[in-house]
Each structure stands twice: as C-alpha cells, then as structure tokens.
Structure 1
C-alpha cells in the first residue's frame, strides 16, 4: 500500500500513522512528473522567482528493514550528485529533510521528452549515434566520480528541443544494494545502446550480453557480472567503430585501420573474434594480415606504450596477471617447448638450471596469487634488490612462456591481459596489495 496520496496538486503522506498534507516552503505544486518504487517527483513553481523546478520526495525502499529512508545514504549520495558539474545531469538546487522524516531535493526542471518517447520518432542512425555518444560520455563522467545511477532507462533521460540530453533521477542508486545498483547499471546501459543503434548493435562483437534483469545471474557472460564503468568505456569505443563503418564502405588504407584498431584496443569487453567476423562482413579478407598486426601493436601499446602513466604499476600488475594465467594452465603447458623457445630469444639472460628452478618454484607454490608468492620471497631473501631481480626474471619467463603456449592466439590473451588490468585497477584492495610489492602505495 502506498504511503502517499496525490490528487489535484495536493500531496498527503503518512506520518506517525496519520495522513498529513505536505507543503514545501516557497513553492506551489503545479503537477506530477512521475513516480517509481523509490519516490515521487512533482513539478513546482517558486513563488517569488516564478521559476519551474522539480521536487523529488524519497520513499522507503521496498527492501528497507526499518521501513524508513536511510538518512546517511541520502546525505552521502545527494552530496556526490550535487558536486557533478555537467550540463547533461540535472542540477540539484537544494535538499531538505522536512517533517523530520521526509527526504526531498529541489532540482532543475527540464522541458522535453523522455528518450523512451524520442526514440519512437525513428530518427536516422547519425542522429541516434549523436544522442548515444552524449549519453555515454555523461554516464562515463559520473561513473568515473564513483556514482552509479542504477535506473538508467529511457524514462530517466530527457532530450530537449536542441537535442541536449539530461539524465534525471539518481534515486535508485541511493537505496539499492551496491551490487544490485551496479548490476542494473550494466544491464540498462547496454539496453540503451542496443535500442538506439538498432541493427548496428552487433551482440557478437562483445564478450558480455544482457539477460533478463529479473533472472538469477548464472551465465559467465551476463553483463551484470561486469563493471559498469568498463562497459561504458567499451560502448563508447564501439560507437566509434560504427561511425567508421558508416563513413567508409571499406577500410581502404592503413590510417583507417589504425583508427579502427585504436578503438578496439581501448575498449575492454570486445570479443576480438566477433569484431573480426563483423569486419569481414564489409571488408575483403585481404586486409586481415595488416589488420591483425596493427591490432596487436595497438593492444600492446595501450598496455605498455610510452603514454602509460606508471611503468612500475604496469610491471607488477601484469606480473600478477601472468602468474594467474600460468597457474590456470600449468598442467597443460609443454615446458620443454617453452624452455626451448625462451632460449631462442633470451640466451644468456638466465642460465638453464636457474630457469628450471624458477619454473619449478612457480609451479609448486601453494598460492595462485603472486602477491603471496612475493611476500614469501621477501620473508626468505630480505634484500629488496634481490627480490626485484627474482620478480623481474619471473615476469620475463612467464611473459615468454604464455606467448609460446598460446601461439597465434596470443593476441586474444594480450587483450584479456588488458581487460584484467582494468578490472584490477578498479579493485582498490587488490590493486593496493599489488602496489605493495614495489611500495608504490
């Protein structure tokens, strides 16, 4: 049963089991904009300035154990959103707790139509891509600031008369479970892009996909398992791939191929084989040799190139990932083959008996985390220069071994390394443990 009633611009709410008429100092209610599980939004007019605003009144989440809104969550999240300076995110003017228990905020009122209504007009793909880019760039900004919307559907995006987008109603992020809000963010962001791009959204180009938001998460590729921020970054680069396809009938020269490959390499959750198959649907197979080499170079440079801010961070993060890959595949690796390959290119760097000893220690250590392996080294060796030398040699051995083991498929693993690197950077606890190996944190 609802704990509010609204009729003829009069709002009543239950306070201490008694219906009370709710008023807002300085404002007259002029209409109802919308309502959801977590709140109601009213159109109001400021009595003095005669400016139209919107007021949101939060309601207790249906899973709230106390039946009340969490004041701390309300204050924390209102402050976060209020600090965002972006014309595409509705401005919060004021926030108040009235009647001791009713949580409100006054927001900018936007005249326009929802994305859900806008998309019915069936605008051309160029217009839809333009709107999609604006939405994703705005989403990326607030996600980078640590904010999750949690209810990013077509009804919560307003498009005004000049095709500017405005994201409204961050309320779900305030009261949903943290994981639940992130799961919804991942799922809804992909849905938005699918709806806007239509046939230009090729699901096989991605390693992840959407399942029903109501179903239990079981599939490994369910988008709800993955970080919303990394999904948004991937979708932004996918938009650029679609743009390139629209502007050119074929990738006719190296500069176009390079631009295409840069966007693939900077995405996180692309399916490289799916991208290649899609590319072949509008290009000749003759470009594949050049394409694969340019793609490899771009993925490698994205991870290890000169523009990387912190080489020590990359050194230890990739060492950690190499060790993960090694441990997962150690029972399938042909160590005679990998050792032979190592000495084709690294003769003299490590003596063969020493190489074998390194491999045996890596194979037989009890933990699958290199942070544990490193901690054990420190306890036994003590001298940090000597520890670094072991880390350096381990990294060289593992990098070469993994490349030999995967052979022609190594480009796929290199992209997985980039993907895992991004996931680690977002996992503050794990990233800090990795940084501790070089005292970087």
Structure 2
C-alpha cells in the first residue's frame, strides 16, 4: 500500500481511495511492514511517552457492513488478550466505519525463522520455545480467540529463549475467520514439524481427525515431546543397567499412549528397538494400547480424550484406527502374528473381555 506520514496523521492509498487515519495523542514515526489487508507503523504515544506499534486493517470496497462489524468484534477480543507470550494490545480504534487500528506493544527481537537458521539449537531450547507456544495458544483458545496466521515469522525470540507471538487477527477482513479452527489446527501441525522436524511429526497419527480441534493438536504435540523425553531417559537408564528406572520410564510412555490416541505407537516401538531395549519394555506399550482401546470403546463423554468426539461416526473411525495401531504393535512385538492377523484380533478381544 502507498502511504504518507505527517505527524499525527497517516494517509493510506487503498484501491485508489485515500484513507486518512489519526489517533489522539499518537504520532506516526515510520513504516514497519504490511500484509494483504493491513499495514504496520512505528508510533509514539505522546501522552504516556512510549514507543508503540500501530497496526491498521482496511476493508475492501466489496466488504459488507456485517463483515466490518464482525472484524471489529474480533479486534475487541484480540485486545482482551493478556499473556506474557502474546504481544500486548493497548487500545483498539474504529475509523470511518471501514478501518480498524490497534495500538500495540513494540517488540524488538528475532523471528523464530531467522533464529533457527542462524543458531545451533538444542532440543532443550526447542522444548522451551514450544512450551511457551503451547501455553499462549491454550490461553487464547480458552478465550475463543484464534490466531489466523501462526508461523515462524510471527514468533519473536526475545533475549535468550523467551517468545512473543505477533499478528493475532491477521485475517480480520478475510474469509478465514469462519474457518479459523481448521486453519489454526493445520498451522500448528506445520509449525511443530518446522521446529522439531519430521521425526517428531511422524509420531502424530491420524492428523485428519485433529483438523478443527487446535486444542487437541496442542495436547498431541505435548504427548509427543513427553514421549521423546521418556524414550531418551529409557535409553539412558538401559545403558546404565538401571532396570527399575527404565521400567518406570517405559510405563510413563505407556500412560502417554493411553491418554493420547494420536501417538503412532509403531514409530515409538521402532525408535526403542533401534536403541536395543529388550522385549520386556515393548510389552508395556502393548498394554498401553489395550488401555487406550478400552478408553475409546467406553465413549465416556467426560474423558478428556474421547470428549472431543461427539458423533458415533467419529468414534467408529477412531476405534478402527486404534485397532489397526494395536495390530501394528503386536506385529512388531512378535512377527509370527503377521501370518495370522485374524488370530491376533481374536487375542485382542480376549484381552479386552
């Protein structure tokens, strides 16, 4: 967008129409960046004497009055977010019944994308980053607010390892608002793989069942990180001949499997086998799968895992997926069953009886 700054007034050229924006006590300093529907300036609050960022969303000529009201409602919700990992919004403004601006905290930092490119990153650092993303987005979803464009350029690294998430409401004047749950789910899965790599991403199975449920995506990623942490401990304990602690770590992973039906147990088993852990520990994961299948079949609406699935078709799909997963684990555990999977299913039903 073309623009001109004159002290307390900025004039923006949108589709050959000049839009003049002024905000009480705010001086526009310079341009910071822009997106498809917005432009960001650095400003100065003359009353409070502090630097700020000013983000301005401008509707299109084709946008209806209802769309503007919806966008204004979303802007008010964004302004209500108060979390140490989310950029603070000081004030929201409406202009000409077609334009919305937010006065925000001005943050200086490095985007996560650039940070990952230019630094040697430890797994401990990545875990800390994701924990903050998890915490911030869980808070946001509890308030019914979706980001709309969560990626590694909208996350700033501040200092050694703190983060700030930028650009909530990127899509105020786009069609994405109505599809925000699906979009955030997909973006979270993509961001998780971007940060941790495909090895971690492969542990999340049946991703299609997670689309539209961003809170459940977060829980699945948390289970993956916990499983990897316990697998590392398992190897360490095994290498040091500490059978009791190794068994405890294996049981933790089993519990993780029971609580999250989206962990690909076959991948977990493969990782453990690569580390030469004995079959004794693999049995634990088999029991974990059986417990998970019991949980899904019980279809208790109060269970945290199953409660996300309200209709019978979703439950049936999940049961089928868990059954397949259980067969995979059994086949890994003892290859003789690969010749007779029907017998395997019979054994499974006996175990569940």
Q: TM-score, with normalisation over the residues of structure 2?
A: 0.74
Q: How far does the alpha carbon of each residue in 1:69-95 deviate from its partner, in whole angstroms, 9 at most, with x for none?
A: 932222321232233332111222111
Would the aligned equivalents of 2:258 and 2:292 in 1 still touch at CA under 8 Å?
yes
Q: Give structure 2 stretches of 5+ with no counterpart.
A: 239-245, 321-342
Q: 2:214 aligns with which of 228, 251, 275?
A: 228
| Pair 1:259-2:245 in alignment | no
Would the aligned equivalents of 2:108 and 2:158 in 1 still touch at CA under 8 Å?
yes
Q: RMSD of the alignment, in Å?
A: 4.0
Q: 2:91 aligns with which of 90, 94, 112?
A: 94
State the distance in 2 between where 1:268 and 1:290 align.
Answer: 16
Q: Where does residue 353 of structure 1 map in the other structure? A: none
Against the structure 1 CA distance between its residues 70 and 289, is the aligned structure 2 distance closer, same or farther, given a 3 Å change threshold? same
State the distance in 1 between where 2:38 and 2:132 align.
Answer: 26
Against the structure 1 CA distance between its residues 323 and 234, is the aligned structure 2 distance closer, same or farther, given a 3 Å change threshold? closer
Q: TM-score, with normalisation over the residues of structure 1?
A: 0.61
Q: 2:290 aligns with which of 289, 292, 296?
A: 296
Against the structure 1 CA distance between its residues 77 and 310, is the aligned structure 2 distance closer, same or farther, given a 3 Å change threshold? same
Q: Give structure 1 stretches of 5+ with no counterpart.
A: 210-220, 329-403, 414-441
* Deviation (angstroms), 1:172: 3.1
State the distance in 1 between where 2:346 and 2:265 align.
Answer: 16
Q: How far does the alpha carbon of each residue in 1:67-123 deviate from its partner, in whole angstroms, 9 at most, with x for none?
A: 779322223212322333321112221111124432111112222111112212232
Against the structure 1 CA distance between its residues 8 and 150, is the aligned structure 2 distance closer, same or farther, given a 3 Å change threshold? same
* Deviation (angstroms), 1:207: 2.1
Would the aligned equivalents of 2:87 and 2:105 in 1 still touch at CA under 8 Å?
yes
| Pair 1:140-2:138 in alignment | yes
Q: 1:107 aligns with which of 75, 93, 104?
A: 104
Against the structure 1 CA distance between its residues 30 and 281, is the aligned structure 2 distance closer, same or farther, given a 3 Å change threshold? farther
| Pair 1:57-2:50 in alignment | no
SS of aligned partner of 1:201: helix
Against the structure 1 CA distance between its residues 127 and 23, is the aligned structure 2 distance closer, same or farther, given a 3 Å change threshold? same
Against the structure 1 CA distance between its residues 22 and 255, is the aligned structure 2 distance closer, same or farther, given a 3 Å change threshold? same
Q: 2:77 aligns with which of 54, 67, 80?
A: 80
Q: Where does residue 280 of structure 1 map in the other structure? A: 273
Would the aligned equivalents of 1:59 and 1:69 in 2 still touch at CA under 8 Å?
no
SS of aligned partner of 1:29: strand
State the distance in 1 between where 2:110 and 2:80 align.
Answer: 25
More strand by share: 2
Would the aligned equivalents of 2:296 and 2:315 in 1 still touch at CA under 8 Å?
no
| Pair 1:163-2:161 in alignment | yes
State the distance in 1 between where 2:273 and 2:91 align.
Answer: 54
Against the structure 1 CA distance between its residues 409 and 119, is the aligned structure 2 distance closer, same or farther, given a 3 Å change threshold? farther
State the distance in 2 between where 1:281 and 1:136 align.
Answer: 30
| Pair 1:271-2:264 in alignment | yes
State the distance in 2 between where 1:112 and 1:78 align.
Answer: 24
| Pair 1:44-2:43 in alignment | yes
Against the structure 1 CA distance between its residues 122 and 410, is the aligned structure 2 distance closer, same or farther, given a 3 Å change threshold? farther
Would the aligned equivalents of 1:172 and 1:181 in 2 still touch at CA under 8 Å?
no
Q: Where does residue 375 of structure 1 map in the other structure? A: none
* Deviation (angstroms), 1:319: 9.8
- Counterparts of 1:349-388 in structure 2, within 5 Å, are none
